[in-house]
Amino acid sequence: VKVGDWVVVGDRQGFVKRIAVRATEVETFDRSSVIIPNSDLISSAVINRTHKDRIGRIDVAIGVAYSVDTRKVSEMLVEIATAHDEVISMPEPFVLFMGFGASSLDFELRCYTDHNIRSLRIATDLRHTIHERFAESGIEIPFP
């Protein structure tokens, strides 16, 4: 772990701002400063989202009505992800048909970005586009 890394420690995540002898300071996304004892970093699991590179996966869960053509949904979701400027082409976006929910057919769109720190915003963009395109195509998103 080094200054500037995006880390997840327990239920906290943010960017490493400072590493001292006894503790590490992490700035969360709401701009709070969290002081984590280095002993916690050593003894617990630490996810470093920027250790290897800046590529990150984006997962978007979506449920549709039982009357919908499942293959059409999968094709549309891949098209939507592929059209987004910040979604990379390799690895390719893909869709998983996750199962049969109580009121919906459940899918998950998975795609990747090389702007890992923007993944939440990209996921939000994708959700807006999915909602718009599904409405235009008559694909119903049911109530739970």
Q: Which fold has domain 56-137?
A: Alpha-Beta Plaits (3.30.70)
3.10.20.340, 2.30.30.60, 1.20.58.1910, 1.25.40.10: CATH of 6-48: 2.30.30.60
Taking only the tens place, the pLDDT of each residue in 76-102 is 999 999 999 999 999 999 999 999 999
Q: In degrees rounded to 5, what are phi and psi of residue 117? A: -70, -15
Q: Average pLDDT of 122-127?
A: 98
Taking only the tens place, the pLDDT of each residue in 6-56 is 899 988 889 999 999 999 999 998 899 999 999 988 999 999 887 777 888
| Structural domain boundaries in the chain | 6-48, 56-137
